[in-house]
Amino acid sequence: MSGPGSQAKVTYVTLAGNEEANAAYDAAVARVGESLGAAHPNWIDGRQAGERPRFDDVSPIDTSRLVGRFPRATPADVAAAIAGARAAQPAWAARPWRERVAILRAGAEAISSRMTELAALMSIEVGKNRLEAMGDAEEAADLLRYYAAQVEEADGFERPLARLLPGEDTRSVLRPYGVFAVVAPFNFPAALAAGMAAGALVAGNTVVFKPSSDAALTGLRLYEILTGAGLPPGVLQFVTGHGSDLGDAFLDDRLDGIVFTGSKRVGLDLHKRFASRWPKPVIVEMGGKNPAIVTRSADLQKAAEGVARSAFGYGGQKCSACSRAFVAREVYDAFLEKLTAVASGLPIGDPTRRPVYLGPVISKKAKDTHAAAVAEARRDGRIVFEGSVPADPDLARGHFVAPVVADRLPDGHRLWRDELFVPFLAVAPVGSLDEALARANDTEYGLTAGIFSEDEDEVRTFFDRIEAGVAYANRRTGATTGAWPGVQSFCGWKASGSTGKGGCGPWYVQQFLREQSRTIVR
């Protein structure tokens, strides 16, 4: 059903009709559901850390449902984890790279073997529907495989260089920095956490891993899988918690790098404050305000499906979600009609149920963000489409909202600028492709973008001029979403990223290494 060579790998676009996978997921939901609610520890140096006050990790589907209870780690806990990671790092770096690769590959196989269990947990813990959750789990496994393959294909990142004198031998060797902090988000709690940690680990660094407090149990399961695959004690540390004090603890000078996915505000703060003594890697992905362009030559049904899927998939809670659409004036009304038809057919409800497309948003804060955006759009523009949450008392216990499409918002309105992370799409008519591109690029972000056009020259112009690291044309399965390891590099430009090299892409692992030139004269 999954894993290398499988004919039925489950990705974000390949679950439909896979009855075996759907049945396995349904069984896993029941099984996982019975195991929730326990108290869990932090893990430092392979041992359970001391007792701490705990926070409740609850399901956004039903906030009375306890997923688990986790420690509120203190700055002292983070310091202990960093110290342990530093102590473990020399031996891990000295381990032959083929052994590190083998351990990461074993972890990938373990993730694939537990794919439906992890997916069921993510559906309950963060509200993903089965398609999104199963894709998330399998992407985590493929990221481990892909980053292991990068080291293998580069022969451990060691290569001979030229010589100036007879008897001189020089080689370039990429070596690990030391200890990385990995701070993961809630929205891809397996894939992003696994990918960031794997890039650091396979390169020979050790990792202090903090999952999102909204996805702490998924983070713990990932920790258990990777350590069970053979990571030595101390190589991967696990701490949970939240708050500014804990965040500041990750500015520790003993960390050699940090990798973070989350808001622009936090990412820029890390970029400014992390390296106080000398420059260090700060690998941050900070979201997007991602546009789709629909030209007059577009297949409008394809465009409506692609935009709706990207705007409303997982409630718009993706860095790559489509939140702006610029549509040729000649086809504007026809496009809105088709978009409304697609959006109105997206079932809302418990995401563990097979027909459901749109589950809850992650928190009350997100629900309030959605309500505020709708109110502003109604006041300052026009609501083109507003779905409705079914009148089900069970849904009243969760953070459910409906998809919304708005237009006639003034240029410069904050709903064109701010990343909302909710199912809200702003649309506008444009007079030309030039105007569409100018408006698409008029943002501080530059993560993903898409175009729908049957004109090859328009598509070529789009790719040449769009200011985004991930660009798609005519993608029915997602106008701006759906990157996969080794298929689409996920690279943020401008305020969307810090390094110009993306996850899922061929240059990711090198970011966790630094070059050393070695010359021997014989």
DSSP string, 16-62: TT-HHHHHHHHHHHHHHHTT-S-B---EETTEEPPP--EEEEE-SS-
Does residue 489 sit within a domain? no
The range of the structural domain enclosing residue 374 comes to 290-484
Tell me the C-alpha distance between 253 and 239, whole Å.
18
Q: Produce one character per residue of 313-340: b if its CB has 16 or more CB atoms within 10 Å, e if not.
A: bbbbbbbbbbbbbbbbeebbeebbebbb
Helix and strand counts by DSSP (H, E) for the chain? 15, 21
- Among the listed residues 307, 393, 305, the one whose alpha carbon sits nearest the alpha carbon of residue 350: 393
Catalytic residue among 132, 138, 305, 319: 319
Q: Is residue 411 classed as helix, strand or coil in its secondary structure?
A: coil
DSSP summary character for residue 503 = B
Residues 156 and 49 reside in one and the same domain: yes
Residues 467 and 331 reside in one and the same domain: yes
The pLDDT assigned to 284 comes to 94
Tell me the C-alpha distance between 60 and 126, whole Å.
6
| Count of C-beta atoms within a 10 Å radius of residue 476 | 16
Give the list of residues 6+ apart from residue 386 with CB closer than 8 angstroms, or none.
374, 402, 403, 404, 405
Give the list of residues 6+ apart from residue 10 with CB closer than 8 angstroms, or none.
1, 2, 18, 21, 115, 134, 135, 138
Tell me the C-alpha distance between 52 and 36, whole Å.
20
Residues 101 and 229 reside in one and the same domain: yes
The pLDDT assigned to 14 comes to 61
* DSSP class per residue in 430-456: ESSHHHHHHHHH-SSEESEEEEE-S-H
| Interior angle at CA 219, CA 31 and CA 446, nearest 5 | 120
The CATH number of the domain where 300 resides is what?
3.40.309.10
Does residue 82 sit within a domain? yes
The pLDDT assigned to 277 comes to 87
Residues 464 and 508 reside in one and the same domain: no
Does residue 342 sit within a domain? yes
| 330 is an active site residue | no
Low-confidence ranges of the chain (pLDDT < 70): 1-8, 10, 12-17
Tell me the C-alpha distance between 28 and 36, whole Å.
13
350 and 359 Cβ atoms separated by less than 8 Å: yes
Residues 513 and 378 reside in one and the same domain: no
Residues 58 and 144 reside in one and the same domain: yes
* DSSP class per residue in 305-367: HHHHHHHHGGGG-STT-EEEEEEEGGGHHHHHHHHHHHHHT--BS-TTSTT--B---S-HHHH
How many structural domains does the chain have?
A: 2
| 132 is an active site residue | no
Does residue 492 sit within a domain? no
- Among the listed residues 280, 256, 234, the one whose alpha carbon sits nearest the alpha carbon of residue 87: 234
Residues 266 and 217 reside in one and the same domain: yes
Catalytic residue among 117, 285, 419, 458: 285
| Interior angle at CA 292, CA 288 and CA 294, nearest 5 | 170
Residue 290: φ, ψ to 5°: -85, 130
Does residue 253 sit within a domain? yes
- Among the listed residues 111, 109, 129, the one whose alpha carbon sits nearest the alpha carbon of residue 120: 129
Residues 241 and 355 reside in one and the same domain: no
- Among the listed residues 417, 454, 426, the one whose alpha carbon sits nearest the alpha carbon of residue 299: 454
Whole-structure pTM value: 0.95
Position 516, amino acid: Q
Residues 243 and 354 reside in one and the same domain: no
Give the list of residues 6+ apart from residue 52 with CB closer than 8 angstroms, or none.
42, 71, 72, 73, 74, 77
Tell me the C-alpha distance between 307 and 450, whole Å.
9
- Among the listed residues 199, 204, 236, 240, the one whose alpha carbon sits nearest the alpha carbon of residue 485: 199
Does residue 52 sit within a domain? yes
Residues 269 and 308 reside in one and the same domain: no
Give the list of residues 6+ apart from residue 94 with CB closer than 8 angstroms, or none.
none
- Among the listed residues 269, 359, 346, the one whose alpha carbon sits nearest the alpha carbon of residue 314: 359
The pLDDT assigned to 452 comes to 98
Helices 19-33/130-153 angle, 10° precision: 100
Residues 446 and 503 reside in one and the same domain: no
Residues 230 and 318 reside in one and the same domain: no
Residue written as tokens 């399961």? Answer: 221
- Among the listed residues 373, 376, 346, 370, the one whose alpha carbon sits nearest the alpha carbon of residue 358: 346
The pLDDT assigned to 7 comes to 42
The CATH number of the domain where 86 resides is what?
3.40.605.10
